Amino acid sequence: MCVRPVAAAPESISEKVVESIKNAEEKCSDDPASGECVAAWDEVEELSAAASHARDKKKESDPLETYCKDNPEDEECRTYED
Amino acid sequence: MPISMVFRANSINHTPFFPNPTKTHFLSPQNLLHFYKKTPLKNHIGEFSCSSPGPVVVGLAADSGCGKTTFMKRLTSVFGGAPKADHNHQNPDSNTLITDTTTVICLDDYHLLDRKERKEKGVTALHPRANNFDLMFEQIKALKHGFPIEKPIYNHATGLLDPPELIHPPKILVLEGLHPLYDSRVRDLLDFSIYLDISNEVKFSWKIQRDMAERGHSLESVRASIQARKSDFDAYIEPQKQYASVVMEVLPTQLIPDDTERKVLRVRLIMKESGVKNFQPIYIFDEGSTVSWVPCGRKLTCSYPGIKFFCGPEAFFENEVTVLEMDGEFDKLEELVYVEGHLCNVSTKFYGEVTQQMLKNCDFEGSNNGTGFFQTLIALKIRDLYEQVAMGNGVGDGVGVGSLASTK
């Protein structure tokens, strides 16, 4: 019924996500059952969630999105599904 | 005169705590805050009698990435009220959502250990050690009794604990996070609680959708993250299920054989039959009986895979519950209205209110399936609970007083 585009999160959070995944993979290669490994993947989850919220926030402030929410029938707001 | 004072206390624009700030200097905001920080609450709670009831407190428990934010957006949409603009001048990274009627507190703000400390100690955010339940209890209790609090802020961007922000008691206080039902003292403060139970297959699918837009993530990293957190999740988060007033289970559909897309969902609303004040479960056709219902047929044509409902009594962790289940997706507006018309105990203010709310928020996740539909139903039940509590405490005329504006 409604279409939602996808945009990337701000650079700094995206960088943090990338680093945290590398860090988790390193920590877990030594000992997958350790507290450090588990905590490292928990950090990945936390940062991924933050990145996702940042993406949503960015989307909410897009002026075209805001306009089209109220005027979906306008030329600029038309969407096509092929 | 007592009646008119109580009436004023229940009006929409009432600020619940300070009736006459200029007259009683001792009770001015600055003095009270200074006073509250230094002295324990229990010595003074008898001295301040609050003329209005404290907020209705709702707990929402769910794992990260499971739809809490969407649920909050639906709740605040049903309760009405505009977001308060000046709130974020205090701290732009605040997690607190404030409208005229509702304040939503993110329980991450009660982390005892920040991100660096958790990493050093090898502790996840799911572990009780990482959270300050004593402070959580003291502050929620304070809000419930009508006192403002200075609540810490957990900054998700930096992973640090920021200086506190001032929070006033609202009409409806929502606590969302991993542990609203973990500590028994906090549990006892809740008037209503919800646990979002997402099955492993659906959780995996949602996290893939969420994370594949980010560089660095792959199917393996998403899977590894879920797997690593599973043991703490099973030990500390899942047991909260048994305490919730309502559990919303999200499972793969049974309508499509061998479905791997996980787009069509089966959602079960497990509602306590008793023990939750001012709440009666929603049902189909006849309370207490078992009903299987496929609305698609002669009157209503649905596209594949259609919609299937079930309603019946069950036992859940030693509680008697009513289970309402929806499998499938809504494709057309008329399906939504048709289904709404056949549910009982929905607590709407007018026929079509559920459909109207769903349409209003059609860009939210889950707007075409049971997740959005049931979240909207729960929001209406909470609104109804609030109004019953407000009516019970006030001497209002029953119309407008103590009620939240119904959204048009």
**CA contacts within 13 A on the Cβ side of B393:** 22
- Residue A38: which pLDDT band, with cuts at 50, 70 and 90? very high
Q: Would you say residue B3 has pLDDT above 70? A: no
pTM: 0.82
Q: Do residues B60 and B179 touch, judged by C-beta distance below 8 A? A: no
Write out chain B residues lying below 8 Å of A46, CB-based. 64, 115, 125, 156, 159
Say how far apart CA B394 and CA B6 lie, in whole Å: 6
Write out chain B residues lying below 8 Å of A29, CB-based. none
Q: Would you say residue B2 has pLDDT above 50? A: no
Kindly give, in sequence order, each residue whose CB lies less than 8 Å from that of residue B34, ignoring residues fewer than 6 positions away. Answer: none
- Residue B6: which pLDDT band, with cuts at 50, 70 and 90? very low
Extract the tokens encoding B117: 């400390």
- Residue A6: which pLDDT band, with cuts at 50, 70 and 90? low
Instruction: Considering only the beta carbons, identify the residue of B122, B159, B225 that sits closest to A44.
Output: B225
| CA-to-CA dists, residue B213 to A25, A60, B139, B207, B219, angstroms | 20, 17, 38, 11, 12
- Residue A70: which pLDDT band, with cuts at 50, 70 and 90? confident
Mean pLDDT of the B352-362 span:
94
Long-range contacts of B11-17 (CB under 8 A, 24+ apart): B11/B401, B12/B100, B12/B405, B14/B52, B15/B168, B16/B50, B16/B52, B16/B54, B16/B146, B16/B168, B16/B169, B16/B171, B17/B50, B17/B146, B17/B147, B17/B148, B17/B168, B17/B169
Q: In chain B, pLDDT over 70 holds for what percent of residues?
A: 82
More confident residue, B45 or B111: B111
List all residues of chain B from 45 to 64 with a beta carbon under 8 Å from chain A: 64
For B360, counting Cβ atoms within 10 Å of its Cβ (0-12 exposed, 13-18 middle, 19+ buried), the class is: middle
Query: pLDDT digits over B270-296, tens only?
Result: 999 999 999 999 999 999 999 999 999
Q: Do residues B92 and B208 touch, judged by C-beta distance below 8 A? A: no
Per-state percent for chain A, helix, strand, coil, to nearest 5: 70, 0, 30
Instruction: Considering only the beta carbons, identify the residue of A2, A24, A46 that sits closest to B125.
Output: A46
Long-range contacts of B90-94 (CB under 8 A, 24+ apart): B90/B165, B90/B166, B91/B153, B91/B162, B91/B163, B91/B165, B93/B153, B93/B155, B93/B156, B93/B157, B93/B158, B93/B162, B94/B153, B94/B165
> Cβ B211–A22 below 8 Å, yes or no?
no
Structure-derived torsion over alpha carbons of residues B323, B327, B330, B335, reported in degrees to the nearest 10: -60
User: What pLDDT shows up at residue B48?
Assistant: 41
Mean pLDDT of the B254-262 span:
90
Choosing among B77, B97, B124, B359, which should be mutated to test the A contact, i.e. which has the most A CBs within 10 A? B124
Query: pLDDT digits over B27-66, tens only?
Result: 344 443 444 444 444 433 333 444 466 899 999 999 988 8
Strand B192-198 relative to strand B246-252, pairing: parallel
- For residue A74, give how far its alpha carbon lies from the nearest alpha carbon of chain B (Å): 18
The answer to whether B220 contacts chain A (CB < 8 Å) is no
- Residue B176: which pLDDT band, with cuts at 50, 70 and 90? very high
With b meaning 16 or more CB within 10 Å and e meaning fewer, what string describes A27-48? bbeeeeeebbbbbbbbbbbbbb
List residues bridging with B328 in a β-sheet: B307
- Residue B327: which pLDDT band, with cuts at 50, 70 and 90? very high
Say how far apart CA B399 and CA B397 lie, in whole Å: 6
Tell me, what's the ipTM? 0.79
Write out chain A residues lying below 8 Å of B69, CB-based. 53, 56
E strands present in B108-191: 149-155, 160-167, 172-177
The residue written with tokens 């979002």 in the block is B196
Nearest CA in chain B to A18: B216
Closest CA to B76 of B105, B106, B99, B107: B99
- Residue A10: which pLDDT band, with cuts at 50, 70 and 90? low
Which strands make up the sheet holding B56-61, listed edge to edge? B97-98, B102-106, B172-177, B56-61, B192-198, B246-252, B265-272, B319-328, B307-316, B291-293
DSSP count for chain B of H helices, then E strands: 11, 14
User: What pLDDT shows up at residue B47?
Assistant: 37
